[in-house]
Amino acid sequence: MFKYQGSFVIDYTLTNLTGLRIGGAKEEFDIGGVDNPVIKAPVSIPEFYDDGSELPQGAPYIPGSSIKGKVRSLLEWALGRVEEMYEKNSADIEKAGKPCDCGKCSICIIFGTGDAKTVERLAKEEKNPPGPPRAKFFDAYPTKETLERLSEQLGEGIFTEIKTENQINRITSRANPRKVERVPAGAEFKGRIVFDLFKEEDKKLLKVIFKGLEMLENNFLGGYGSRGSGRVKFKELVIEFIPREYYTGEGQKKEIGKFNSVQDVINSLEEIIRNV
Residues that bind Zn ion (CB under 5 A): 100, 102, 105, 108
Q: How many CA atoms lie within 13 A of 203 on its CB side?
A: 14
Q: How far apart are CA 184 and CA 17, in angstroms?
A: 9
Query: Closest separation between CB of residue 82 and Zn ion, Å?
Result: 11
Q: What are phi and psi of 191, to 5 degrees?
A: -140, 175
Q: Is there a contact between 58 and 157 (Cβ–Cβ < 8 Å)?
A: yes
Q: How far is the CB of 24 from Zn ion (least distance, A)?
A: 30
Q: Which of 128, 182, 143, 156 is nearest to 55 (CA)?
A: 143
**In the complex, minimum distance from the CB of residue 154 to Zn ion, in angstroms, rounded to a whole number:** 43
Cβ 85 to Zn ion, closest distance in Å?
A: 8
- Indicate the residue among 41 and 100 with the shorter CB distance to Zn ion: 100
The nearer residue to Zn ion, 59 or 105, going by C-beta atoms, is 105
Considering the complex, state which of residue 127 and residue 170 has its C-beta at the smaller distance from Zn ion.
127
β-sheet bridge partners, residue 43:
none
- The residue (of 103 and 184) whose beta carbon lies closer to Zn ion is 103
> In 3D, which of 95, 195, 199 has the Cα closest to residue 136?
195
Comparing CB distances to Zn ion, the nearer of 113 and 146 is 113
101/181 with CB nearer Zn ion: 101
Separation of alpha carbons 76 and 59, rounded Å: 32
Nearest distance from C-beta of residue 83 to Zn ion, angstroms: 12
- Of 100 and 183, the one with the shorter C-beta distance to Zn ion is 100
- Shortest Cβ distance from residue 228 to Zn ion (Å)? 32
CB of 60 to Zn ion, least distance (A): 33
Give the distance from CA 24 to its chain's centroid.
16
Q: Are 29 and 262 in contact (CB under 8 A)?
A: no
Q: Quick one: CA torsion of 143, 148, 151, 156, rounded to 10 degrees?
A: 120
Which residue blocks in the chain are alpha helix, DSSP H?
64-78, 81-88, 93-96, 106-111, 116-124, 144-154, 205-217, 244-247, 262-274
Q: How far apart are CA 119 and CA 103, in angstroms?
A: 6
